[in-house]
A and B are shown apart, each in its own frame.
Chain A
Amino acid sequence: MINFQFVRTSVIKTALGLVSKDSKATFIAGGTNLVDLMKRGVTAPEKLIDINHLPLKQIELKNNVLHIGALVSNSALAENQLVKEKFPLLMLALKAGASAQLRNVATVGGNMMQRTRCGYFYDTTMPCNKRQPGSGCGAIGGYNRMHAIFGTSEFCIAVHPSDMCVGLVALDAQVVLASIKGERKINFIDFHRLAGTTPEKDNNLQKGELIVRLEIPINNLNKNFHYLKVRDRTSYAFALVSVAAALEINNNTISNARLAMGGVAHKPWRLQLVEEFLKGKPATTATFEEAAKLAMNGAKGFGENDFKLKLAPNTIIEALTLAKAKA
């Protein structure tokens, strides 16, 4: 059997020490992704460091910034009163993800770190640059209906599958990372990467680093918001395209906007240029349509996912429309 060590600690420092020493050590949180990957032979860590007992389960408001521990479960986060009140967009994104059973054990950190669902990545007999750099990309020229239309490279066209992260990127979240050297804070938008020439790297977490918490500054985007996820069945399916939209509207004029997409890129896809475009415009269908068109700059299909070139802008229009209608 492929033997591995299983170490449990309730001390952050110990966890960091363990993972920094051992190049084949990895954290395990809810295990909903990691265990599947181990079972399929995609990854074979020699040491699992169970971080579920680390003190990273708090959700607190400090100086108008919401702090969310990395081990808060997806369902606890979605049900949290502060989240419901201040960041209902995040709540919707969370609830659109996976199934109730999965959300009960899936953690914030694990959700950010979950790997792509590309079928070639999971089948070790097929080529995949992400799993085995240099082996080729099975999805290009193959089954790529679920794949990216933005920021792709000739090495990988996979998407990041998370819903939660689409909400977070729209909310200007920040990520606090810890290692034995100390803590650092980066913008959520800089956490995930595009595939480029190194598709094996999903994000900028350094070896030995632990996600400890998220910080989201309070905003006024809790009135006109929507998370719209288009998928092949009503629940328990990954997004074909999803859109997180939030607007501040005064006298039918948009004063602030946030817009991000899921299911379209190797990272949660924030649309800052479109947000800028929306500001100062009337909150009308015509504006939304123009915004959607703008959002598609640079989009490129790979055959089976060409439909996303139409679905993505449509979903933006509908999400903005529903966000506007909310108040």
Chain B
Amino acid sequence: MEFFIDENDRVDGIEKVTGKAKYFAEYQLPGLTYGVLVTSTITKGKIIAIDTKAAKNAPGVLDVLSHLNKPSAAGYEQAGGSPMKIFYTDQVFFNGQPIAIVVADTFERATYAASLVKVSYEKTAFNTDFEASIKDAAVKKLQGAPPYVRGIADAYKTAEVKVEQTYKMPVETHNPMELHGIIADWGVNDKVTVYAKTQGVKSTQNTIANVFKIPAENIQVNSQFVGGGFGMALRTWPLEIAAIMASKQLKKPVKLIITRDQMFTMVGNRPAAYQKIGLGATKDGKITGITHTAFGQSATYENFTEGVVNMSKFMYDSENVNTNYYVIPLDMGVPIWMRGPGEATGAFALESAIDEMAFALDMDPLDFRAKNDPEQDPSQKRPFSSKYIKEAYKLGAAKIGWNNRKNKPGSIVEGSWQIGYGVSVGVFNAGRGRASVKGILKADGTLVLQSATSDIGPGTGTGMTLIASKLMNIPVYKIVFELGDSSLPPAPSQGGSATLSTVGSAVNDVCVALKSTIAELAANSNMDATSNFVDVLKKNNLPMIEKTIQSSQNNPEAKNYSMYSFSIHFVQVKVHQLTGVVKVNKIVSVGDSGKIVSPKTARSQMVGGAVGGIGMALTEEAILDNRYGRYVNNNFADYHVPVNADVPDIDVIFIDKPDPIVNPMGAKGMGEIALIGFAGAVANAVFNATGKRIRSLPITPDKVLEA
């Protein structure tokens, strides 16, 4: 059977749907062995002894490694410091911490042998209770972000109208379908090859180089396809180092894939958060003060902070703004950015409070937002590079039928259901880093582009191909974009919605360079300046030309502007009056993220963000029993990601106007804004439907019923 793609399709779509795309776990190396982790069953304390006799004697077992017998990792020899140095400590920092790895000739045998490892501990008292720890937060010296004050702190307190509320966010886990892991192959002369699940092949390469103190060139990282990351693959986790140590020790390739329950403890999570917002406004709806104080969950052995309070500083025009952000170290695995990261957490609180204020003022929440929309970035006192949020308000409102919304909650009833509308905005920094791309333009009419970037799903290759296709006037099927290989020209990790901007700029620059070389060659060989590159190369007897370009990080103009992508989410929900069940009926998400380079994958990002947003709003919560420090719903039956039946049709609208500053394409990232704000829109819609304000996510039937 033959397949065809049109120019909007994913360049790797056929490989993905036919199973040809190879994910890290699918590589079959000769002599492959299998690692399985032994994890702590206590939450805090010290390992006294590890009895591996039975495990080592079990059939097929090659070795059991722990802090007692690991091979050396030179970068770990120095005491102290973060991150956690696996097998270099006898301390238990959290329940489910990897403390040994069993390697055997099959996965099943390794799994069984891991169950035979007996560990004795000295337990110490621990604390995993996030909310209870906030009470004494004031007296402790907490880390976090420096406090921010503009104008008068806590000005909301003296405002004509004020809202003062607390918003809660549980632990969420990324849990992409693809489980985390690695295949590690420590070869002769300290040459290391890994097949990884990573959002950054260069970052994985550097981490391994640092841990084992071997030259980065010795390390080859392959990660062409990633089955979802959402942020959890932005760092090299201790478990990956464990597999590499095992391979080093055994001189054999080791494959380690963790289990679904291990996905809850050792590869990060969206931290729980507790946020207080104080909002003050004049009676006619002008915001006079915003105070945003946030506490985030972190770990005792390593600190994690994120941008929970950022949005409050500049999204609305207020003379007085102050923010505080603290993290609470708990005896839990360290969190990591999860899609939309802290901004999504913060947006839920701020956008709920904005809605509460609009209601207190008896204003339409859209009008209230428009009235307080700043002309320029009030925190930096400089213009936005581009911002069409008011236009986005209008487009989204028209599409969802906002004029059907009644400002009075509980006004629309259909049978046992109450109907409500909600809106919320999202915003994320339109970052751009530095990347290198190599372009190889061939006389057969094809173009190969190479960069050590990643594609965790958004369609990086597709976006890059489209950028090049337009610039070079080459059809997409004649362009190949290679990524996920650390030997290619360097690029940063895929995170923070910056890949299209960063790598796309380098693709742009390399294409421009290739074009000018072709133009020169054409001129030198007396050809027309508009000649096709194939003819030019042939005339010059060149099979190909190559260029590698590192894009500059920014337009020099950029420092004069604040650069952000914006989104606005509209939802219509229905809430069952007797059972408290919430269903999202309609979604309209509008993205204001500059020029849309790849319409199909861009839409897919917005759709994925909305689905993740439904999860955040209605279903997702990792539940830990604080008496034991263990998760009690660490599986896909009990940790509820939304299913198809939870997701209505999603309308996606793009403003699609180029940003003149950010990069040559005029395109800003949009992976995060697709999710940021969404949960607030749902919570606001639930309020509009019922008059019940749920300030604690997820909005499950019990919370609605008891509100």
Contact = CB atoms under 8 A, between A and B. Distances in A.
A233 B618 contact: yes
Contact of A119 (B112, B115, B633, B640): B633
A1 interface: yes
Contacts of A125: 41, 628, 630
B145 interface: no
Contacts of B700: 232
A233 B640 contact: yes
Contacts of A11: none
Interface residues of A, number: 34
Given A117-B638, A233-B619, A310 B706 contact: yes
B580 A233 contact: no
B643 A233 contact: yes
A191 B701 CA distance: 31
Contacts of A117: 637-638
A264 to B, nearest CB: 14
A1 B706 contact: no
Contact of B579 (A142, A233, A311): A311
B632 interface: yes
Interface in B558-594: 576, 578-581, 583
Interface string A63-79: 00000000000000000
A230 B625 CA distance: 24
Contacts of B143: none
A120 interface: yes
Main secondary structure of the interface of A (DSSP, over half): loop
A235 B643 contact: yes
Given A143-B625, A314-B705, A318-B416, A123 B645 contact: no
A84 interface: no
Contacts of B640: 232-233, 237
A16 interface: no
B413 interface: no
A120 B627 CA distance: 12
Interface string B637-673: 1101011111000000000000000000000000000
Interface in A111-131: 117, 119-120, 122-123, 125-126
B59 A1 contact: yes
B701 A230 contact: yes
B37 to A, nearest CB: 15
A90 to B, nearest CB: 21
B50 interface: no
A230 B416 CA distance: 14
Nearest to B627: A142
Contacts of A321: 416
A311 B702 contact: yes
Interface string B591-613: 00000000000000000000000
A217 B530 CA distance: 85
A86 interface: no
A232 B630 contact: no
A232 B580 CA distance: 10
Contact of A314 (B579, B619, B627, B642): B579
A234 interface: yes
A1 B109 contact: yes
B623 interface: yes
Contact of A315 (B578, B583, B642, B643): B578
A230 B578 CA distance: 10
Contacts of A235: 643-646
- Chain B: number of interface residues, binned into ranges: 35 or more
Interface string B44-67: 000000000000001100000000
B108 interface: yes
Nearest to B578: A314
Contacts of A145: 702
Interface in B480-520: none
A234 B578 contact: no
Contacts of B628: 125-126, 138
Nearest to A120: B632
Interface in B665-691: none
A311 B705 contact: yes
A119 B705 contact: no
A143 B109 CA distance: 33
A179 B49 CA distance: 49
A126 B628 CA distance: 8
A166 B248 CA distance: 56
A30 to B, nearest CB: 15
B112 A1 contact: yes
Nearest to B113: A1
Contacts of B583: 234
Interface string A1-42: 110000000000000000000000000000000000000010
Given A126-B628, A143-B623, A143-B625, A230 B581 contact: yes
A124 to B, nearest CB: 9
Nearest to B702: A307
A102 to B, nearest CB: 10
Contact of A232 (B619, B627, B645, B705): B619
Given A126-B628, A141-B627, A314-B705, A119 B579 contact: no
A254 interface: no
A233 B644 CA distance: 10
A315 B447 CA distance: 63
Nearest to A41: B115
Given A119-B638, A123-B632, A318-B579, A234 B701 contact: no
Name the residue among B576, B580, B637 with the largest chain A CB count within 10 angstroms.
Answer: B637
Contacts of B706: 307, 310
A21 to B, nearest CB: 27
A268 B443 CA distance: 73
Contacts of A99: 643
Nearest to A308: B702
B13 to A, nearest CB: 24
A277 interface: no
Contact of A317 (B578, B625, B638): B578
A41 B259 CA distance: 14
Contact of B580 (A2, A120, A123, A311): A311
Contacts of B576: 318
Contact of A236 (B108, B623, B643, B702): B643
Contacts of A41: 115
A142 B637 contact: no
B652 to A, nearest CB: 22
Nearest to B59: A1
A310 to B, nearest CB: 6
Nearest to A118: B632
Given A120-B632, A126-B628, A232-B700, A1 B108 contact: yes
B56 to A, nearest CB: 15
B638 A318 contact: no
Nearest to B96: A125
Given A1-B109, A234-B646, 13 more contacts: A1-B58, A41-B115, A99-B643, A123-B630, A125-B41, A125-B630, A138-B625, A143-B625, A232-B618, A233-B640, A235-B646, A236-B637, A314-B579
23 contacts: A1-B108, A1-B109, A2-B112, A117-B638, A119-B633, A126-B628, A126-B630, A138-B625, A143-B633, A233-B618, A235-B646, A236-B637, A240-B702, A307-B705, A311-B579, A311-B580, A311-B701, A311-B702, A311-B705, A315-B578, A317-B578, A318-B416, A321-B416
Interface of A: 1-2, 41, 99, 117, 119-120, 122-123, 125-126, 138, 141-143, 145, 228, 230, 232-238, 240, 307, 310-311, 314-315, 317-318, 321
Question: Which 3 residue pairs of A and B lie closest in terms of their CB atoms, listed nearest first?
Answer: A119-B632, A234-B645, A307-B702
